[in-house]
Structures are given as C-alpha cells and as structure tokens.
Structure 1
Amino acid sequence: MFENLSDRLERSFKILKGEGQITEINVAETLKDVRRALLDADVNFKVAKTFTDSVKQKAMGMNVLTAVKPGQLLVKVVHDELADLMGGDTAELKLEGRPAVILMSGLQGSGKTTFSGKLANLLKNKKNRKPLLVACDVYRPAAIAQLKVVGEQIGVPVYSEPDSKDVVAIAEGAVREAKAKGYDVVIVDTAGRLAVDEEMMIEISNLKNSLHPDETLFVVDSMTGQDAVNTAKEFNDRLDFDGVVLTKLDGDTRGGAALSIRTVVTKPIKFVGTGEKMEAIDVFHPARMADRILGMGDIVSLVERAQEQFDEEEAKRLQKKIQKNKFDFNDFLGQIEQIKKMGNLKDLASMIPGVGKAIKDVDIDDNAFKGIEAIIKSMTPKERTSPEILNTSRRQRIAKGSGTNIQEVNKLIKQFDQTRKMMKTITGNQMAGMMSRMKGMNIPGMAKR
C-alpha cells in the first residue's frame, strides 16, 4: 500500500541530501516536491497545502543537532505531521451498551457486508465478545444470503426477517433477540446505493434515531480517492457518524482518502481492510501508517500479528519435539497454517523495515505455500511423522500425487532437513526465553494482551 507515494516522498527528501543545514530555500524546494507527491496521491488540495505549510513552519523553527542531517530532520517532521493528519492517536471502538450496537453505513460496493463479517470475527476471536449480525439490506438481491454465507464462514449467527421491508423493525427485533440469547454486540449491515440519495439518508437516519448505536461507522472504498472523501462528508453532514472504515487498502490505492478524510470530516479512521480474508482487518494506527508511508516498515504490527497466532502450549510441545529431533511434516504444516492466518504475505513482508521497497515489484502470491502443502498432504501419515523413510520410490509417488515433480519434492525434503537441524541447534530454554520476551514486549503504541 502507498508504494507510489512512498517512492515520491523518498525522491523529495533527496533534494536535501548533502545539504549542511536547513534553509528556507532548500526546505521550500523539498516541500514543493512533497506537495506534488501528495496531490498525485489524490490528497485534497487544501489538506496538502496546509500539511506542507505546517511542516515548513516546524522544520524552520527547530534547532538542528549536529548529529542529525537536515534530510533526517525533515523526515521526522513529515512523519509526525502525517501521523497527526491521520488522527494522531488510535481511536478505539466504544462498546458500552448491553448489547452494544454498531451501525454500518456507506455506498453500494464499499464492502459493508464483508467488513461487518470481519469486524464480527475480530470481536469474537480477539475481544471474547458474542456478536450477532443483522441483515438490514432489504433491497439488494441476495444481500441476506451473502451475509449468511459470511456468518457461516466465521461461526456468527445472522438475524433476518426475509418477508419484512421495515428495516427499523428488523433492527429492533435483532436487539430483542440479542438480549434474549445473550449476544453482547449487534452489528447492523444496512443497504447501500450507487450514489448518495435522500431515500437512503432518511432510512439510515431513522435507524440511528431508533437504535441509538454505540458506534456508527462509515465504510468507504479507499480506491475511490477524493470521491471517497466527498461522500464521507455528505454522509457525516447528515448522519454524524463516529468513525471511518477504509476498505481495499491493499489494492492499487494512492492513499489520498487515508490522508485527507480525517481533516475533511474531523472523524477518526478506526479500521482498515487489507484483503479478502475474514482476518484481513487492522485497527488503524496513524503513527504506524506514517511509518509505512515513509518506508520505515511496521514491526510493531508484525509482532502483534505473530502474537495473535502464538499458542504457548503448542510452543512447549514443539520445543520438546525439536529437542528430541522429532519435529515432523505435520508440525511443519501447522507452522505454515499459522503464517497464512497472519495475513497477506506481501503485506507481512512489507512490515519489515527496508523490505517494502525491495519487494514492491515482486508478486508474492497468497498461494505461495500451495505446492508445499500439496506435497506434504500427498504423504502417508507414517511418512509425515518419519521423514527418514522417504526413499526414491516414495518420493516419486508423492510427486505424482501432488501434481509436482521429483525435483520439487527433493527440494522440499532438503529444506525441511536443514530447518530441522537449525532448530535443533537452538535449545528449548533459548526458545522459551525468546517467546516469553516476545509475549511480554512493552513497545510504545502496542496494546498489551
């Protein structure tokens, strides 16, 4: 995400490279290029101008330490201003009602239904909440069926009244159902339109007035750039929503919506959607997003995702197997599954500082593990637990069964043997210490779990 903007900003900062000090002339030249980069990224013109004026004022007012180069200082000022531009602090969901009610709003095609499922999945698995999805899109063909498919996928029930067109009555019925059956969060998926229209606004306003939701979220497709910002303003003028959700941030987005929307509607971005999977949802952290825009990676988010998949009991079991050199293909397959659950592979790699730029033109397919999984799953249970019995005839059978060739099978087995030897050199105590340190990390900006 934001690859083009990151490249443009990097080129802008090179104007100051080699300069001995910050002057009004070289800062003005650099920031002129920064403003162009922001406008090319579809950032609102007024927002871009105010941003660069603020950066210039702060940069010129700072005493430059001899150890800090002018270019480094400007990157720091731009980073802090970018974080402020996107909201500064992370905005948390406020779910105080019993049940708490979340009302979704947005245009058709913005991704409301999918996001409703992602949010329910996050609340269920990471916040130990018991969500209920509500189908209040009574106009779009198969909208109720779509939400039910999403609900089945994540194991969350869906409340619907297929014969009713009264969305207020449906939503009120869902709240009664939640109270009766112990659901503590009600997520109301509403109808979208192809454009903002009076009928839609009246309907969503009536829903809000009836439900008094804890949170009203506006879901917007970030790939629509300034159109997204303009639509958000129209919705906010009528609905006074609590926060913004940017979907499709993993696509070919220029970043304008993320950088402009907070200033234009004065409401925080609360979540971003970063892929199609139900796990592809992130809480929006302005400072971390500024890191990524400036090519600094996002190691804190990477550690958090790893921690979410970390199972202490499973880790202890694996330590014992590694110590006895019993780590097998079943364990290897389990580790692959954990990595896949962490999210889009290219997105994960780009969180490592310096890697994002290196892989920007590299296509990392989410199916990168498909061949490996096919090979392992073509093994018999005994072959998976006892890799040493994999002779030539067994390898040929596995290659045929997995739709690969003998070279690929041999390569995987060799890599597996090398991995097993490397893991054996790390003692169980070292691994336990590393994991516990990771678990107890106190990184600024990272919530304790």
Structure 2
Amino acid sequence: MAFEGLSDRLQSTIKKITGKGKVSEQDVKEMTREVRLALLEADVNFKVVKSLINRIKERAVGTEVMDSLTPGQQVIKIVKDELSELMGGDQSKIAVADRPPTVIMMVGLQGAGKTTTTGKLANHLRKKHNRTPMLVACDVYRPAAINQLQTLGEQLSMPVFSKGTDANPVDIAKEAVEQAKKDHQDYVLVDTAGRLHVDDTLMNELQEMKAAIQPDEVFLVVDAMTGQDAVNVADHFNDQLDITGVVLTKLDGDTRGGAALSIKSVTGKPIKFAGMGEKLDELEPFHPERMASRILGMGDVLTLIEKAQTNVDEKQAKALEEKMRTATFTFDDFLEQMGQVKKMGPLDELFDMIPGAGKMKGLKNAQIDEKQLAHVEAIVQSMTKKERQEPGIINAGRKKRIAKGSGTTVAQVNRLLKQFSEMKKMMKQMTGMQKGKKGKGMKFPFM
C-alpha cells in the first residue's frame, strides 16, 4: 500500500499529542523530530523535510494552537495542511484546449510505465470526461512499444496513429495532430521515446517535437518506487522541457512515498495522476489533501464515494436495499453485491479510505482477508440455484457436497449459513423498528 511505512510511523507519532489538553513547545519539538525521521526514512528529499518541519514548528507553537481548546487537534490539522501543501495543495486538473484537439506529450525513461499510462489516461478521459482520445506511437526505436500501444488501442477501441519504425517521430506527431483535427478527436496523447537514462539525443528530439506540436500538457511519467531517483529525473526533465505535470506510476506498491512528497517542492510542477494498479482503469487524479488525510489515517471518503459511483450499479443497489429491508435477499444477491464491490479495487485499499479504520483494534493487521472472501464465494457458487434461494433446505448431506465442491470444510459452510440467517433476522427486527421507513445505505457484510 502507498505510504504504508510512513503512515504507520506518523500515526503513532501524532497519537501521542492528539489527546493532550495542553501542548508545550517541548511536545511540539519531540513530535516534529519524529515526523522528520519518518519523512527521511520514507526517502523524502532532505531539503524538503527541513523546510516542512520548520513551517510546522512555526505554526504549532503560535498562539492559534497554544490558546485553543483542543491544541492537540490543532497540531494535527497543521501537519495535515502542510503535508497537503507539500504535495501541491489543490488538485491540478488536466488542460482543455480552446480549440480541439488538446495535445498531451507523454515523456519519461524506459521502464516507468509510460506506454501503459498513455492508455490508462486515454481510458480515464473517455470514461470520466466523455472525451474521444487518439493515441500516437512516436517511440520508433522500440517496435515493442508501438505494438503495445496498438494492443492498448484495440482493448480500448480507440484509434492509434502510427507510421511504423522508419518515420521521423516529430513528423509522426505533427501528422497525428492534423489527422485528429480531421477526425474530430478532442485529445491527442503522444507516446514518445524513452531511454534507460537521460541523454542529449533524447532531449533534443523531445524539444523539437514540443516546438513542432505545441502541446497543452507535457506529462512526465515516473516510477514512484525509484524514490529520490524519480525526483532527480523529474528535475532534469523539467529543466529541459518545462513539464506541466507528473504522473506517478506504481504508487500502490511504494510503501515509502518519498517521490510523491518531494516532486512538487523540487520541480514546482504538480502531480496530476497516480497509477494505483496494473489495470487500465487504475489511474486516479492526484488529490494532495485526500492523500494527506490517508497518510495520517483520517481516511478518504470522497475517493471511496467516487469509486462506488463509478462501479456500483445504482438500480441494482436500490433493488438490493429493498430486498434487505424486507428480508428477502438471497445468496444470489450476495454474489451480485460482492462482484460490484470487487470492481472498486483491492479491499485493503478501500479499507484504508474509511476514516479511523486503522485505529480499529485487530483490523489494521488483519485487514480484510481476500482468501476468506474467495472461500465464501466458492461456497455460494457450489450451491444449487434452489439452495441459494432457500438456504433452509441445506441438510447435512448437502453441506458435505457444498464443502467438497468449494474446497472448504463443513464447519465453514455452517458458519456462513449461520451468519446469513442471523443477518436476515436482524434485518427483520430493523424493519419492524423502522415501521415502514426506508433504511439508508444498508449493505450485506462480507465477514
């Protein structure tokens, strides 16, 4: 999980100061020392850490904190605000040209995930903004990159402009923009060549291309797991190309997060998007304030709601709510809801977006056992249609058959049946208490 190490360290540090009725300068000094060590361990740039700690100290020992009724809470708010500001403050939105198409150059080193990110961004623009992107293959030095982009185009049912490996990449980019105008494509995403390291040949080509097509955005794609190397690459590309934003890939796998916390301060350019997985729909707009909240264990309800709105069918959700209210839901309904929630992403990531979830005893380490959920799903799928509709008919012989078919034990089958029965009883009781009023937001538990 992104920032896991940093998040754990910071949360344990600020917990000591949160409940204090009075905060002294010594308390602030001890807290900022721990915060500094946590950030340095997370591979955050040393100068960035020093500046951040000075700002936190200056604000935390001011009269606004010392004279407040809840000084501990005020200090935490300052830490959150400063972390958010460190990553850019407000979300930086993607550009929209006055006259289509909007042109975006995707640049970066080999191995950062540039081509895949180009496809992800195109998918995001179509799904979230109702745009019609064109992908452009300008990495003429690697036939595999062209093939990969064409494959992505096929998967997304999007046009890919390519002239093969013999054409000049600058000419390809110019022709692609003209073609996009004729075809009324409103975004052009240019996948440029990369290198294993920054060199003059690469930069000269990119500078020439930028001058030729006048892009509205120049996005640098960097691998978050490379830490300070990512920051150094970003600084170099920015000096040469004056990038407009950064896309961090593999943020879901980086447990430190130093790149995300350093890039904005070092380059002055915002993080626009973050790759949170390998699938084509796992690219998220980067919200500094939301990320700061997640780091400090305050959750990220807005992102959770957005995921639900995108992945959960509203009609199905309403129908399920009605069944739960009348205690008529079945195991088929359970499977349907489980499938919708799984579309939202890994359950441990969803768990981290719930405010205070990390403080629940035992749940932080156990989180949500995906294997256990797979067992539950297998048990239900091993039932016959009639058994799913009427679990009461499942006798000892049927339980043995279900356990064998699902690779589980009779005890696990019994446990699930008992939980399901208890849930239905609880819903009947709640329905009676509500006296006909509609329940809001009720969902079937998975555990």
Give the whole-Å Cα distance in 1 for the aligned partners of 2:172 and 2:136: 8
TM-score (norm 1): 0.85
* Matching residue of 1:375: 379
Give the whole-Å Cα distance in 1 for the aligned partners of 2:133 and 2:52: 40
* Matching residue of 2:343: 341
1:265 Cα deviation after fit: 0.5
- Could you tell me which runs of 5 or more consecutive residues in structure 2 were left unpaired when the two chains were aligned: 443-447
Q: Given that residues 224 and 254 in structure 2 are in contact (C-alpha distance below 8 angstroms), is that contact kept between their aligned partners in structure 1?
A: no
Deviations 1:189-209 (A, max 9, x none): 222221111122122223322
1:60 Cα deviation after fit: 2.6
How many residue pairs were aligned? 434
Residue 399 of structure 2 is aligned to residue 400 of structure 1: no
Deviations 1:334-370 (A, max 9, x none): 2112111111211110111222365554475656543
Give the whole-Å Cα distance in 1 for the aligned partners of 2:275 and 2:249: 4
Give the whole-Å Cα distance in 1 for the aligned partners of 2:160 and 2:388: 40
Aligned CA distance change for structure 1 residues 78 and 162 (closer, same or farther; 3 Å): same
1:214 Cα deviation after fit: 2.2
Give the whole-Å Cα distance in 2 for the aligned partners of 1:133 and 1:379: 46
Aligned CA distance change for structure 1 residues 168 and 409 (closer, same or farther; 3 Å): farther
Deviations 1:174-230 (A, max 9, x none): 334434444322222222221111122122223322222222111111111111111
Amino acid aligned to 2:438: Q
Aligned CA distance change for structure 1 residues 181 and 19 (closer, same or farther; 3 Å): closer
Out of 413, 430, 438, the position equivalent to 1:430 is 438
Q: Determine what percentage of the aligned residue pairs are the same residue.
A: 54
Question: Which structure 2 residues correspond to residues 23-422 of structure 1 after superposition, within 5 A?
Answer: 23-64=24-65, 68-96=69-97, 97-322=99-324, 325-356=327-358, 359-362=363-366, 364=368, 369-422=373-426
Deviations 1:303-351 (A, max 9, x none): 2222223433223333444455442333222211211111121111011
SS at match of 2:65: coil
Give the whole-Å Cα distance in 2 for the aligned partners of 1:330 and 1:164: 55
Q: Given that residues 279 and 341 in structure 1 are in contact (C-alpha distance below 8 angstroms), is that contact kept between their aligned partners in structure 2?
A: no
Q: Given that residues 222 and 253 in structure 1 are in contact (C-alpha distance below 8 angstroms), is that contact kept between their aligned partners in structure 2?
A: no
Q: Which moved more, 1:15-24 or 1:270-279?
A: 15-24
SS at match of 1:114: helix
Aligned CA distance change for structure 1 residues 363 and 284 (closer, same or farther; 3 Å): same
Q: Which moved more, 1:253-262 or 1:60-69?
A: 60-69
Give the whole-Å Cα distance in 2 for the aligned partners of 1:99 and 1:216: 15
Aligned CA distance change for structure 1 residues 208 and 287 (closer, same or farther; 3 Å): same
Deviations 1:142-184 (A, max 9, x none): 2233334434444444333335442223333433443444432
Give the whole-Å Cα distance in 1 for the aligned partners of 2:368 and 2:162: 39
Aligned CA distance change for structure 1 residues 357 and 161 (closer, same or farther; 3 Å): farther
Give the whole-Å Cα distance in 2 for the aligned partners of 1:300 and 1:152: 32
SS at match of 2:299: coil
1:275 Cα deviation after fit: 1.8
Aligned CA distance change for structure 1 residues 386 and 150 (closer, same or farther; 3 Å): farther
SS at match of 1:64: helix
Give the whole-Å Cα distance in 2 for the aligned partners of 1:244 and 1:366: 32
* Matching residue of 1:445: none
1:46 Cα deviation after fit: 1.2
Aligned CA distance change for structure 1 residues 278 and 423 (closer, same or farther; 3 Å): farther
- Could you tell me which runs of 5 or more consecutive residues in structure 1 were left unpaired when the two chains were aligned: 436-449
SS at match of 1:101: strand
Q: Given that residues 325 and 420 in structure 1 are in contact (C-alpha distance below 8 angstroms), is that contact kept between their aligned partners in structure 2?
A: yes
Give the whole-Å Cα distance in 2 for the aligned partners of 1:132 and 1:416: 49
